[in-house]
Structures are given as C-alpha cells and as structure tokens.
Chains A and B, each alone.
Chain A
Amino acid sequence: EIVMTQSPATLSVSPGERATLSCRASQSVSSNLAWYQQKPGQAPRLLIYGASTRATGIPARFSGSGSGTEFTLTISSLQSEDFAVYYCQQYNDWPPGTFGQGTKVEIK
C-alpha cells in the first residue's frame, strides 16, 4: 500500500499570505494525485486532481504541482474561508487510493 505523508501537520499563516503544503508518496503515483479541503462539520471538497487541474468552481488562488512522489498545494493569498484541513490522496494504486493524514491551515 502506498503511504502518503503530508507536511507540516499544522501551518500558521496570516490572511493574505501564501501557504505551501507538501505531500509525499512512498512510491511514484505519476500525476494521479488529488487535494481536498475540509472545513469543520463539512464533507471534504475536491480542489485539485491530476496533480494540477482545478476542480469545477475552485478559485485560481489554489494551484497544485508535482509528479512522481513529491507534490505541492499552494494557496497564493489566503482568504478567511481557506482556513481548513487539507488532504492529499493518491489514486494511481486503487484500490485503496490512500489519503495523507492532513495539514491544518490555521490563522496566525
């Protein structure tokens, strides 16, 4: 099973600043990598798939990059509604299509 490791566990950022989240796979997943945002009490929402393609309705301040084993989600200028937990998920090896443990983006 491919293990996904996200860093950091918690990221403290001021509104308007850039946030950079990392996700590492234990073996290559090509570009079969998705990012999700989850706010308290809500279901996760798909942000990015194919490592860099924004899902429908996702603002341009969210961007994804990487391939193979190293991936990055960048939020260019954090808005108040962006403070949440972010998960990466690989689907190159599915089932089971494993998730990372999440990165919490909190207000600094």
Chain B
Amino acid sequence: QVQLQESGPGLEKPSETLSLTCAVSGYSISSGYYWGWIRQPPGKGLEWIGSIFHRGNTYHNPSLKSRVTMSVDTSKNQFSLKLSSVTAADTAVYYCVRHVGYYDNWGQGTMVTVSS
C-alpha cells in the first residue's frame, strides 16, 4: 500500500521560501510515476503546483511564475517542494500526490500559513 506523508514548517513569513518534503512508503519512487504537489486554500478548490518525474524532469503551474523548485531523493524515497517569495495568498493545505495524469495516491496534507 502506497503511503505519502508531508512534512515541513506550518508557518512561513512573507517573502520567505516555503519548503516541504514528502516521504513515500510502499513504492519506490525510482520505479516510475510522477510525484507532485497540490494545494487547497481554506474553503477553496484544488490547484496543481508542480510535478517531478522519477528521473528528475519537472513541470510546474505557469501561474506560479517560476517560484517553484522541485527535487527528488531516490535514496531516501522522498521528494521536495520549494516555493519562493510567499505571500498570504500561498496559505493553504499542501498535498503531495502520486499520479499518471489522475492522482491516485494522496498524502494527508499539511497546513501552511503565511503570516508575519
């Protein structure tokens, strides 16, 4: 059974860089699939942030204007997200996901609040 678990600070200051990690168990990242991040502001819908293929190819939502950096660590079976220059608009629950177009496995989500 594939399990994903997000970790990272729950509070970031404006203009700082948000950093999250997703630990994967039950499946080896290097075996395939895309690994991504989706966020959900309080009371709102779902927004795809970006994804990384196990070989390192990355894709991100153009709306985030290159603030996104993603990486994968196959030795630790985890992948990471960095979102720079955060503002209050980046306050959301952040989910890590496995996908092949559709998202078949989700982490439980981690709330990140951007506030001074």
Where the two chains meet, the residues of A that have a C-beta atom closer than 8 Å to any C-beta of B are 32, 34, 36, 42-46, 49, 55, 87, 89, 91, 94-102
Contacts of A102 in B (CB 8 A): 45
Tell me if B104 and A87 are in contact (CB < 8 A).
Answer: no
The answer to the question of B30 belonging to the interface, with a C-beta cut-off of 8 Å to chain A, is no
B26 at the binding interface (Cβ < 8 Å): no
Collect the chain B residues with CB atoms within 8 Å of residue A94's CB. Answer: 101
Q: How far is the CB of A96 from chain B (nearest CB, A)?
A: 5
Contacts from B to A (Cβ < 8 Å)? 45-48, 51, 59-62, 95, 101-104, 106-109
A95-B51, A97-B48 are known contacts. Are A34 and B107 too (CB-CB below 8 A)? no
Bound-complex Cα distance A95 to B53 (A): 13
22 contacts between A and B (CB under 8 A): A43-B107, A43-B108, A43-B109, A44-B103, A44-B106, A46-B102, A49-B104, A55-B104, A87-B45, A89-B46, A91-B101, A91-B102, A94-B101, A95-B60, A95-B61, A96-B61, A96-B62, A97-B48, A99-B46, A99-B47, A99-B48, A101-B45
- Give the most central of A43, A44, A94, A101: most B CB within 10 Å: A43
Q: Is the interface of A mostly helix, strand, loop or mixed?
A: loop
Q: How many angstroms between the C-alpha atoms of A3 and B109 in the bound complex? A: 25
B11 CB to nearest A CB, Å: 19
Give which listed residue, A34, A45, A96, contacts B48 with CB less than 8 A.
A96
CB atoms of B103 and A36 under 8 A apart: yes
What B residues does A98 contact at CB under 8 A?
48
- Is B61 within 8 A of A34, CB to CB? no
* A45 CB contacts on chain B under 8 angstroms: 106
How far apart are B61's CB and chain A's nearest CB, in angstroms?
Answer: 5
Question: In the assembled complex, which residues on chain B have CB atoms less than 8 Å from the CB atom of A95?
Answer: 48, 51, 59-61
Contact B46 A87, beta carbon cutoff 8 Å: yes
Across the two chains, which residue of chain B brings its CB closest to A48?
Answer: B102
